[in-house]
Structure 1
């Protein structure tokens, strides 16, 4: 039955657990093999759940579809996170010129720089920033200063080959406990885009975490504050499990971002969706700029940006507030403090 398959598709797109998707696909297969008259009779008598693989939720979907209605479950998905983008979100996606947070197999990504770049180009981007991890994140094969220098040469060569598409040099640099950055300052000065993120000591007390984040935001080399709460909202991510938000004074951190012109990242990974909407709205009120990023670790994940566009639209973020709606030249001027 088409409604069941559509629900499964939207759940897959939303990165929902496999068991939930399978329940709808199995129900769709069974409904497709069952004569419509039998389904209608069972719906009338309330016995759909006697069929193997049909539960209360899928039975209700079938009943509503048989009545010619759009099932409530499907309507809810299409009105929230799994929805086709509304016009405001679609406009944001059309306005995006690039992606400022991506990873390759030089750190913990699953594909070469070339494959990531060519995929981004094929998705309609003008540029992509390669932001592999910094050295202290050993679990992610973070780049030493020497490896980063070699990567800069590789990126320059590839970017020249793919022109006019541009591969921007970058890093996702760890914010250390004292707010300093986990890479040589001389190297950070050479990069096009610096995304700064907290990856360790996520349970620091609120005051210490606030000081840590504000110190990083004040560093003139930082352009984007990555996944600010560090939360993991559902399993299925690269390391599984869930993780609560770090505690910090969001008003102070976002005021610092606005004051020092550091973009707040709207992270589009389905298991992150960071910041939460209440904090995203607070950042809008603070007058922050934003970067809608995929945080992709594989080519297919580059197409996760609509997740961030949807959340941004729901929280009142306008295209002109998003730094990666700029052309590459304008973006670089901004990143270097020229706008």
Structure 2
């Protein structure tokens, strides 16, 4: 059992205990254990019970529960709670924006035990009559249910990637396989995935191998399969699976067709009206590159085959040199135990340095984010003193003093000007009062962008992919304002956010707005999310030159200092 699986079990246990109104101290013992496990870097299954008992926050009893969970996949408290809770009520705990206490009220007072019954209760206006609810809460829950329905059978790209690659390797390793490739949305790096698409060439391409009907964890769907397409569904995630049988000699042609969007395939690329589709359906090619060469086009990677502007650049042989992981020199927007992070400031800094980066931007939550242990002014001072000490010890590596300042309801930032002036840079983000129309949300962001202390705009829409829609904003107005006021826009690399969306990267670049790939890391492991932000940037055509944290330590320090001076700070 991996650490994340154990954390998931304990979170479910704590939620079920709260649902059943159990002893708060017992619930706290689980939440404390979760915090300890989140900070733990070593694999939990490799530790003995004696070693677990020595961990601060893990007592003898909790260590025994951890060992039981590792050995059996569950533990006594969880089993007891699951036995007394309807399965549908357990699933309702996953609904975004509604906690265990409210679910208990819905379950006990209305007798609602499934998401479908909850939706019906909302539509009949029954929920709004419950104590502690109201029409607004009812509407929020209904919207969350509708969004959850639309997200069923989908995974984040980052979640789907290991599944997709494992299956690809399985197909390639079969003795009857001549060629296999992952295509479709996965190869194009779209942010969410509902189907894994593969192309497969076999030694005998007239028959489907029996092993496809025996794939572990996959249910064949014969009703929508055919002589050249095999379809199934992954049982655990609900992802659809499509494997298309193609002749070996046309394999590269088919790879191009299934790795490119429709507008690209059908757009004329020369006066004769030739298209990528017509060429792909023509003579067999040895590679995708060959098909591009035939049309006198520079080769375009699948992730970039979205905007027709990129196709024009391919015709002119002027494609940008895309950002790569190795171009990034530092990691900005990170959290420590000063707010809601799992690791200390020193641990975050040392690990960042060990990874080979030149600098770290520490941006713990500001004081209004009380739910995230936001920093009061005296704690800001304490953190900045620690940063000064660590900079002396870790130099030339540098920690920049930052804060993720809440954008308040009126668009202002947390803290008085004298406190804001003490930071090297400020990431301004919205975390509260998310129910806004496009006018209110845009105005709130514009006010923050116009604030001279705002250095960078964090996760502009506040979305949580497959969990919560972002608030609607006028992207052009926001990007234009960032251009006018010299504000950097974050590409939040957390795979649950990926915000700003890649569809707006091209426009931001056209307005000369710098972008920063930020992991929003709440642990040392969170730095690993940087690669997802790079993928988002690349999909929008991001270059190293337009990536803020591709700048060196000295360049970033000079930028922050010059900007403050120019703003009169």
| TM-score over 0.5 for the pair | yes
Residue in 2 that maps onto 1:144 = 376
Change (3 A) 1:316 1:21: closer
For the aligned residue pairs, the C-alpha RMSD in angstroms reads: 3.7
Instruction: Name the stretch that deviates more: 301-310 or 22-31.
Output: 22-31
Whether the 8 Å contact between 2:156 and 2:495 is mirrored in structure 1 is no
Instruction: State the partner residue of 1:243.
Output: 468
State the 1:270 CA deviation: 0.6
1:124-183 C-alpha deviation (Å, 9 max, x unpaired): 211001001011112211111111111111111112111111111110010001111112
Q: Counterparts in 2 of 1:1-339, with a 5 A limit? A: 14-16=157-159, 44=207, 46-51=209-214, 53=216, 54=218, 55=220, 56=231, 79-80=302-303, 88-89=321-322, 91-234=323-466, 242-336=467-561, 337=563
Are the equivalent residues in 2 in contact too, given 1:120–1:128 (CA < 8 A)?
yes
Change (3 A) 1:177 1:267: same
The verdict on how the C-alpha distance between 1:24 and 1:331 changes in structure 2, with shifts beyond 3 A counting, is: closer
1:285-314 Cα shifts (integer Å, max 9, x gaps): 222111111111111221322222222223
Separation in 2, partners of 1:280, 1:21: 26
1:258-306 deviation per Cα after TM superposition (whole angstroms, max 9, x unaligned): 1111101111111111111222222222221111111111112213222
In structure 2, C-alpha distance between the alignment counterparts of 1:210 and 1:31, rounded to whole Å: 49
| 1:126–1:204 CA distance, 2 compared to 1 (3 A) | same
SS of the residue corresponding to residue 220 of structure 1 reads: coil
Distance across 1 between alignment mates of 2:372 and 2:490:
20
Deviation at 1:45, TM superposition (A): 5.1
Tell me if the contact between 1:106 and 1:132 (Cα under 8 Å) persists in the aligned partners: yes
Deviations 1:109-137 (A, max 9, x none): 11111221122212221100100101111
Distance 2:395 2:464 in 1: 36
2:284 paired residue number: none
Which range is displaced more, 22-31 or 314-323? 22-31
Once the two structures are TM-superposed, the CA of residue 49 in structure 1 deviates from its matched residue by: 4.3
Q: Give 3-state SS (helix, strand or coil) of 2:495's partner.
A: coil
Q: How many angstroms apart in 1 are the aligned matches of 2:343 and 2:333?
A: 15
Distance of aligned partners of 1:60 and 1:211 in 2 relative to their CA distance in 1, 3 Å threshold: closer
CA distance in 1, matches of 2:169, 2:507: 42
**Greater RCO structure (CA 8 Å; 6+ sep):** 1
Rg larger in 1 or in 2?
Answer: 2
Does the 8 Å CA contact 2:330/2:357 hold for their aligned counterparts?
yes
Q: Give how far 1:63 is off.
A: 7.3
CA distance in 2 between partners of 1:190 and 1:256 (Å) = 24
| Structure 1 unpaired stretches of 5+ | 1-11, 82-86, 235-241
For 1:326 and 1:50, how far apart are their aligned partners in 2?
51
Residues 203 and 247 in structure 1, CA contact (< 8 A), matched pair in contact too: no
Give the distance between the partners of 2:243 and 2:527, measured in 1 at CA: 32
User: 1:254–1:283: 8 Å Cα contact kept in structure 2?
Assistant: yes
TM-score by length of 2: 0.48
Q: Tell me the secondary structure at the aligned position of residue 15 of structure 1.
A: helix
Distance in structure 2 (CA, Å) of the matches to 1:318 and 1:27: 30
Q: CA deviation at 1:40?
A: 8.6
Does the aligned pair in 2 maintain the 1:136–1:174 contact within 8 Å? Answer: yes
